[in-house]
Structure 1
Amino acid sequence: MLKNLSIGKKFTAAFSLIGIAVVIFGFYIYTQVSGMRDNMLNFTDDTLPAVLEIERLNEEIIRIRQDQYAVLTFSDPAERREILGEIDVMKRDYSRALDAYEESLWYDNERAIFTRIQNHWDQYNQELSAFPDRVEAGQLTAAQKILSSSFGTFGQLDKALKEMSELTQGFITSNRTSMLNQVSTVSMTIIGVLLAVIAFMIVVAVVFTRAIINPLRLVMEQSSAIAKGDLTYQLDRSQIGNDEMGKLADSSIAMQDSLRSLIEEVIAAVTQLSSAVEEVSAVSSQTSSGMQNQQHEVSQVATAMAQMKATVADVAQNTESSSTAANEASEQSRMGAQDIDGMVGSIRKVAEDMRQTGDTVNELDQQSKQINMVVDVIRDIAEQTNLLALNAAIEAARAGESGRGFAVVADEVRTLAGRTQDSTGEITAIIEKLQQFATQARNATTQSCESIEQCVEQGDQAQQLVRGIETSVENIADMGMQIASACGEQDSVADELSRNIERINDSAQEVAGGADQTAQACNELSQLAQSLQSTMQRFRLTK
């Protein structure tokens, strides 16, 4: 469950625990410090003033006792009255001090000792109640006896004051011990809590480091395998949670799958392109061979036409020798008819070859369009790969310093996608050239077919004329004038046929040139397909 939390939630939970521990620890420290403050205030406001007050009371009672003895040594009554007045003031102050001290009593044992002090002080004052009167009356001996008789009470009062002093000293010792114990407890608690927090932070650091480093190491291994062209590497997704590292792993796996699909489609397209190039190359070879045969046959037709023209001239010149000329003309007419039949058959054959060439060129155009569609698919896949690489780079940038290695891999993938797009652009340009050549070849083939159809029509006309000549020659005895006219017409037809044959020859040369250009384009496209196939072989798609 922990590894499925996001990194932010993990850090929040860890620091929340630390914060709660710090708050609890702070509350504990506050409680201990409050207790130490109370003990300190008790020491400074109660215990220490009580000790000082007891010491002062002890000193005051001793001073009163000393002044009482001292008054007996003065012979001047005025001085004795003055000393007695001071003693009376000190006694009143002493009584007020006892009353004030009584208000600061807390403990029963302290109150019991104070009660003894109060009782002894009252008894002491009662025993010395007649002392001032005896001193003022000058009865110093009697006054001394009264003072001496109060020595026991004074001793008990002094003893009670010393007990109270020892008790307050015990309070000081107790407060000191309590404060030292509290300081020691707080110190040990602080040390323990600090050690526990440090240990917890070390555990959190180790756990979080493993939670980030281990998945990142797995993703880096996959990215390294992809960079080396190994698309068969399988990332163990079960070792990575569903946090940001899991999303990064999912993106890397999706990128690997998309890249594998892209490479497979490119390889299939390259294979199809190679097959299409081979077919187009074969068609171009057939077209070139057909054009050569056509040129040879057209040459034969031109020779036949020249022979026919010479024959017609001979017929015109030998009109006077009608029998001989008729026989020769009849023979030449039959030969001309045979030649024209052969010419018409050859022209029809050329027309059929041109139609096949046109069909082949149309097939080449269709194959080029299919190749163009495949190239569009490759370009779309390259753009998707570029987008995936860009998203991976953005995620890596969000990851900060830990995602820098993956950002380099994403940049390499984007570079490969860019190179693929450039290659598809080059293939598209070549295919467009191939389509242009196919269009030119189709237009030339169409023109050639039209010219050949004209030649066929003219061949039929020539055949009819030759048959007319043959009929005329058989009746040459009766149609001498018609022979001259027919020879003139035959000469004109022969000239027209010669011009048509020349046009057919020119068209055949253009078609042959287009076939050569198509073959050259096929060779370039084949080299490009081989180069692309060599590039794709860098990637290993199966184990």
Structure 2
Amino acid sequence: MKRRSFFGFLSSIQSKLIFFAVLFLTVPAVIFSVFTYYKTSTSLNAVGETNLKNSVKMTIEMINALNDEVEQGKIPLEEAQEKVRIAILGEKDENGIRPVNKKIDLGKDGHIMAFDQNGVAVAHPDKEGQNLSDRKDSKGVKFVREILKAGDNGGGFVYFDYPRPGKNKAEKVIAYAETEPNWGWTICVTAFMKDFNQPAHEILIFLAITAGIMLLLEILIVWRYAGNISKPIRRVTEKMIRLADGDLTQEKIEIRSRDETGQLAEAVNIMAEKLKEMLRNISSASVLISSHSEELAHSANEVKTGAEQVAQTMEELAAGSGRQASSSSEMSEKMRDFAAKVQESSLHGEKVEQSSQKIMEMSEEGNQLMGASAKQMEKIDQIMKETVDKVQVLNGQVQEINKLIYLIRDIADQTNLLSLNAAIEAARAGEQGKGFAVVADEIRKLAEQVAVSVSEITEIIQNIQKEFQNVTDALQEGYQEVEMGTAQIEITKERFSNINESIIKMVENIQTISKNLADISSNSQEINGSIQEIAAIAEESAAGIQQASASAEQISSSMEEISKSSDQLSKLTENLNGLIGQFKLSS
């Protein structure tokens, strides 16, 4: 609890300044006082020891002087010795006790005494005539023997513990002893160390009182100075606490000081103003962000709806393209049958050089798949138109061939009739017409063969006409599918105009089928190749439309993510507004 209260006291700058100022001033003062006491005590000890030593020396000098008178016969030895006892102590009273001579300053209870060589006290305040050689101090030391030993060694100091007269508590005693050569007395001067160092204790008390007064003055001065420092800091702290609580309506801190505290207050004022301005700007920006996020969410929803409509349209268009590819495959199969039959009818005629030139080239692909699909659909539309026209031309040519076949059949019939007439005439002619009859018969057989061939050709031509009709119907159906696909692409292009570039139209031409039968075979192969290319393009278109549909779905997904992000941005803006609302910007 004491440690907590102590550290609680040091919780403020003012208390810390006072504490450390007092500490830094008190510690040197205490050190100085202790050092002064030590030096004074040491000096006083030296002076006291000299005083004790001088007292012994003076007593020995007095004994020497009295001993000279004894030797001269002026006074007896006992009288001389008694004079010494009276001089160092005093006369005995009726109780045999000698007083302590107050003229000799040895402290309160210090005195001079003398022992003979056996330890008998020859001069003592209250134990004169007693053998004190076995007397011990509080530590068990036989101090009288130590005194005798020091005296016999030419003089020396002895330290022991002994109680004052009438007291039980032992105190430190200092004694100086020296043996007088004439009488054999060991003169000993004793003094209590406490009395011995009394001036040093008085100096220490004086220093303590002086230090206490100085400490009190220091506390008052430091308290006032620390208050001048801590008061502005407390004002700054109070403002910072209110700033931390979100209160920005405070007035500026007015501190006239130009030192660090004034600079700190000015910095806090500037920080508060800048924080207030920053929060106002953040609040304005938050309102704008909230508005823009709502607009972004609305736009994202509109784009998402448009993308979903485009994706749905693209799915319908992909289904139409699939049907178109299927029809093109069927038409290609029929054209292969048609080409085989045309080649079969051309076995008896000249071999026709087949020439085909692929004119289907993809136009430049646009940046978006919808543009390429639109161009391919237009190309298919043009090809289908030209294919229908060419098939109709071929149908006309087949009809012309059919007319020629009828003409050939008529010629064959007439030839057969003429050969019969010739045979009849040859029979009438007899032997002269026999050779002619043979020729007429051969002509008849040839005419019959021609008739048979014409019949076969007629049957083939009729089959070709039927196949032409089937091809024409298939082309018409494919053309209708192409027109529907083209119209659907146009509708999709209009809906997807803000997302993809316009579909580039496909333009290619197919060369005119030659008029003769040999060219029919070549052109039929070319038509078959074109139909296969149409099927491939239709499949590519379907794939492109599917990719465009996937892109539309991806756009829709992206728009949904944008919408979610805008919602999150709106929520973050609301949270930011809530945080800004915690600050008071105006009173």
Q: TM-score, normalised by structure 1?
A: 0.36
Which is richer in strand? 2
Q: Which structure shows the bigger proportion of residues in helix conformation?
A: 1
Q: Which has the larger radius of gyration?
A: 2
TM-score by length of structure 2 reads 0.34
